[in-house]
Chain A
Amino acid sequence: MPERDHLAASRRGFLGLAAGGLALAAGSGAARAARVDTSARILILGAGAAGVAMASRLTARLRGATITLLDPRPEHWYQPGFTLIAAGLKPATYAVSSTAQWIPRGATLVPEAAAEIDPETNTVTTESGTKLGYDFLIVATGLVLDWAAIEGFSLDLVGPEHGIGAHYAGPSYAARTWAALDAFTSKGGQALVGRPATEMKCAGAPLKFAFLTEDTAARKGTRGSVAVTYAAQSTALFGVPIVSEKVRMLFAERGIGVVYEHVLKAIDPGARTATYATPEGDKVLDWDFINVIPPMRAPAAVRNSPLPWADKWTDQGWVEADQATLRHPRYPNVFAVGDVAGVPKGKTAASVKWQVPVIEDHLVAEIAGRGEGTERYDGYTSCPLITRVGRAMLVEFDYRNNLVPSFPGIIAPLEELWISWLMKEVALHATYNAMLRGRA
């Protein structure tokens, strides 16, 4: 199966790893084809990891194309770093760079958000009312965190004063989350960690946070006075059954309590209680520290456009896309990449790394008049699941919930290893940056 072999081989390219005198970062992929001449107008909504990586690869493959990125945020966030910031290992600045610095030569950044997307007329209207026509649209807006869905919560509450964390909200909030976690683990009490019931980016991050809360207390010697409870939104801890089981065992080993089918709907910062929707009705749990991760949805401009699925995730609005090609079935000149793509799993930077070359292949093939591209996305995603400071499990899987280890026989996917921690702590940021430049 040549395609399978190629995918397995190129998967290795994702994880650079460095460990003292050893370094290895292998990979493979099709050799770069010659540049294709075109006058196509390609509009990329969003200049985050997916948008920038897409632009970098397309500028390298196409000559004469008008490539425009639309993104209002001046800061680029390295989101895989948020967990490390929230664990007190890195400063907030670790995850912050400027959006402009990543825009490749040959592409233009318009510092605005899309207000309206009309795939019938191939037009996007920006918030200031500018109309941009396109021949190809790549939706890479990312997602929005629906904080308002958690009653009683507001981002002003994040920090040690209230014992509230919200490390998904951004680098500075991740740093405030650490301040809250640090204060809590010095004092002791009940910690609540959980995740929303919607699709979410990096579904491993809430689990990591539970492990790190326990680990922080253990390192401080306050473990005896700290209780950690993980509120799972379903009857499992992770979407991939074999990983879920492993996490269940580790939670039991580490004394991390679990409540299943608990979806956070409200907090009372004064009384320090949290209300969860459960199959038996609302339940209230007490906390001294809580990390809030809200429901996630596509941005309003996407939700209100004709692009989302009509019959799937209707409350979330992810862009309808073919699972293998990421092409929109109803609007073939539209692709979705990254968090906003309506495919199962795949809301991680690792997924972006595998999705971008697929769209590149199909887009360039079409522009060059070669018809359909041949690359396929198999749902690959990767999660260095930190189980404590210094150890992680390198969990990699695909659409079918199969484990697809990059280093079979060397780095076991369900083993807590130091080398997997080194990858996350040391090598991933560099690999991510290389991806933004289209070099990885």
Chain B
Amino acid sequence: MKQLTFGTLIAVFEEMFGRALFWALVAAAAVITLAYLYVLIRDRAVSWRKFLLAQLSMPVGAVAAVVFVMWITESRLSDIGGPIDAIVLLGIAAVGAVGLAILVYTVQSLVRRPGAG
């Protein structure tokens, strides 16, 4: 079977992070996403004040994601060699930014009472 399968994709990621770390990350991402949905449904509204802080955390998430991937792959920013490298790097930063924003929003919602902020 030479087709792209979900199994192949999983195998690649397990190899990248190590099996335990990869599944820990998947579990963390799933928990945060579920918690985010939970607070949205519970509050029945987006809190723009929380959203502001979440937005402010986005650059931090972007940088953290890039630093993490560079560390895992023994790479440095100076290794970026062509357009595809820059696109991949921006993709990683975008995922980190959105991920942290969701995390920050969710944590605020969970620790503060609904309507408090």
Contact = CB atoms under 8 A, between A and B. Distances in A.
A22 B91 contact: yes
A138 to B, nearest CB: 20
Interface string A347-390: 00000000001000000000000000000000000000000111
Interface string B63-80: 001000100111110111
Interface in B31-77: 65, 69, 72-76
Interface in A415-440: 415-419, 421-422, 425-427, 429-431, 433-434, 438-440
12 contacts: A19-B92, A23-B12, A23-B13, A25-B8, A29-B3, A389-B74, A418-B88, A421-B73, A425-B74, A431-B8, A433-B11, A439-B5
A142 interface: no
A434 B88 contact: no
Interface string B5-27: 10111011111100000000000
A426 B73 contact: yes
A440 B73 CA distance: 23
Contacts of A28: 2-3
A416 B7 CA distance: 30
A17 B87 CA distance: 14
Interface residues of B, number: 34
Interface of B: 1-5, 7-9, 11-16, 65, 69, 72-76, 78-82, 84-85, 88-89, 91-92, 94-95
Given A20-B69, A439-B7, A419 B12 contact: no
Contact of A419 (B3, B11, B84, B94): B84
Contact of A16 (B12, B65, B69): B12
A391 interface: yes
Contacts, number: 119
B73 A425 contact: yes
B4 to A, nearest CB: 5
A22 B79 contact: no
A20 B3 contact: no
B82 A415 contact: yes
Contact of A427 (B4, B12, B94): B12
B92 A417 contact: no
Contacts of B84: 410-411, 417, 419
B88 A419 contact: yes
Interface in A1-30: 10, 13, 16-29
A418 B11 contact: no
A300 to B, nearest CB: 36
B69 A19 contact: yes
A20 B91 contact: yes
B99 to A, nearest CB: 9
Contacts of A433: 11, 15
Interface of A: 10, 13, 16-29, 32, 89, 357, 388-391, 410-412, 415-419, 421-422, 425-427, 429-431, 433-434, 438-440
B2 A426 contact: no
Contacts of A415: 81-82
Contacts of B94: 21
Contact of B81 (A16, A25, A26, A416): A416
Given A23-B9, A415-B81, A430-B11, A422 B73 contact: yes
Contact of A417 (B7, B11, B81, B91): B81
Contacts of B95: 20-21
Given A20-B88, A26-B4, A390-B76, A426 B12 contact: yes
B29 to A, nearest CB: 11
A205 B92 CA distance: 30
A407 to B, nearest CB: 8
A347 B16 CA distance: 26
B9 to A, nearest CB: 5
Contact of B14 (A20, A430, A439, A440): A430
Contacts of A417: 81-82, 84-85
Contacts of A427: 12, 15-16
A21 B74 contact: no
A22 B15 contact: no
B37 to A, nearest CB: 20
A419 B69 CA distance: 12
Given A20-B69, A32-B1, 8 more contacts: A16-B12, A18-B16, A20-B92, A27-B3, A28-B3, A390-B73, A426-B12, A434-B8
Nearest to A429: B15
